[in-house]
Structure 1
Amino acid sequence: MVNQIYENWGGYPVKLTWLSKEKPQLSKVTSVHAYCFHQGKILLVKVEGRGFNIPGGHIDEGETPEEALHREVIEEGYVKGAIKYIGALEVSHEENPLFNPAGKYPLIGYQMFYRMDIEECLPFLREHEAISRIWVEPEEIPYVMNDHKLSLLILQDALIVSNPI
C-alpha cells in the first residue's frame, strides 16, 4: 500500500505521508489519535457534524502527546488503557498555493498515532463533543469510518503492534 497521498482538506490540497514508527519533532505535532481495541473490536466515535472516526484531537498547552491522547480517548470514547506509539502522519501544505503561514497550522505538521488496548470502558455520558461510540470489527472499518485512504495503512500498523506501554 502506498504511504503517500494527496487529499483535499477544506478546499486546500495537502500531501499526507505515513511515517511508520518515526517520531516527529514535538513542536510540529498538531494532534494525537488512537486505534482503540477491546475484545477484538475497534472503538469509533461520532463527533457532531462528522462521521465515525477514531478518537483523537489537539494537544493542549503543557501536555505531552501521551497525556493529550489519554485525555482525548476519555473525552470522546470514555475508555482507558495502555498505549503504544505506531507512527506519525506528515501533513504538508508545501504545494498548497493558498497556505496561510500566519494560520493555525504549520507548513509541515504531524499527527501522532497510537494503539490503545482498552483496560476500562466507562459509561458513555456525552459530556464532550462525541455523540456516540460504536465497536467495529477491524475488517469492517473501511465501510464505517469516513477518512482518507492512509487511515487503513495506519490501521494495519496498529493491528500488528503488540506489548503496549
Structure 2
Amino acid sequence: MQIIENWNGHRVKLTWKRHFPLKGKPVTSVHGVCFYKENILLAYIKGRGFNFPGGHVENGETPEEAFHREAFEEGYVKGTIQYLGSIEVSHDENPLFDPNGKYPMVGYQAFFRMDVTECLPFRRELESATRVWVEPEEIPYVIDDHALALVVLEEALKDTKEMP
C-alpha cells in the first residue's frame, strides 16, 4: 500500500513493505505495536498526539536496540520484539526536499511487534505525557497517524494469529 502525506509542507510518498530486509538501508526511525493483556499501547507525545511508541535511531544503535529504548522512554514497557516490516519514506516528489538536510531522499521507518513482559509504573519523566492501553478494534478511533499505521496494526494482529 502506498499513500502521499503532507509532513509540515513536505510531500512524502509512504509505502508499506512487509518483512522488508533492512541490511544496508538508511533506517531513520523505529516504531512498534506493543501488546499487553490483549490491549495495545498508545503514547501521547506533544505535537504528535496518540501514536505507537517510536522515534529516531541514535548513532550506533541497531533498529532493535532503538525500538527497545523508545518503547521504554515513551511507554515504560519492556518485552520481546519481532520485526514486521518498514515504511519506505520517499522524497522524490517533494519540491522542498533538502539534499543536505537531516533525512535521505529515501529512508525507512522500521516497525516491530512487542509482547510486553514488563509494564513499569508510568512516571512522566521522559518523552510522553501519558500512555493508554486500547483494545485493538478501538485503535482507529484513538490514534493520531496516517492510514499506514492501521496497515501496520493489521500486520501485528496477523502475526498474533500466526503465533503458536
More displaced 10-residue stretch of structure 1: 17-26 or 54-63:
17-26
Q: Is the 8 A contact 2:18 2:85 kept in 1?
A: yes
Q: TM-score scaled by structure 2?
A: 0.95
- Distance in 2 of aligned mates of 1:157 and 1:75: 24
The aligned runs of 1:12-161 (5 Å cut-off) are 12-161=10-159
- Distance in 1 of aligned mates of 2:9 and 2:46: 20
Alpha carbons of structure 1 residues 116 and 56: separation in structure 2 relative to 1, 3 Å: same
- Distance in 1 of aligned mates of 2:71 and 2:62: 14
Q: Is the 8 A contact 2:25 2:108 kept in 1?
A: no
Which secondary structure state, in structure 1, belongs to the residue aligned with residue 154 of structure 2?
helix
Alpha carbons of structure 1 residues 116 and 60: separation in structure 2 relative to 1, 3 Å: same
Q: What displacement does 1:151 show?
A: 0.8
- Distance in 1 of aligned mates of 2:103 and 2:56: 11
One-letter amino acid of the structure 2 residue matched with residue 31 of structure 1: S
More displaced 10-residue stretch of structure 1: 10-19 or 45-54:
45-54
Q: What displacement does 1:73 show?
A: 0.5
Aligned length: 162
Alpha carbons of structure 1 residues 99 and 25: separation in structure 2 relative to 1, 3 Å: farther
Q: TM-score scaled by structure 1?
A: 0.94
Which secondary structure state, in structure 2, belongs to the residue aligned with residue 129 of structure 1?
coil
For structure 1, list consecutive stretches of 5 or more residues without a partner in the other structure. Answer: none
**How large is the Cα RMSD of the aligned pairs?**
1.3
One-letter amino acid of the structure 2 residue matched with residue 77 of structure 1: G
Q: What displacement does 1:25 show?
A: 4.0
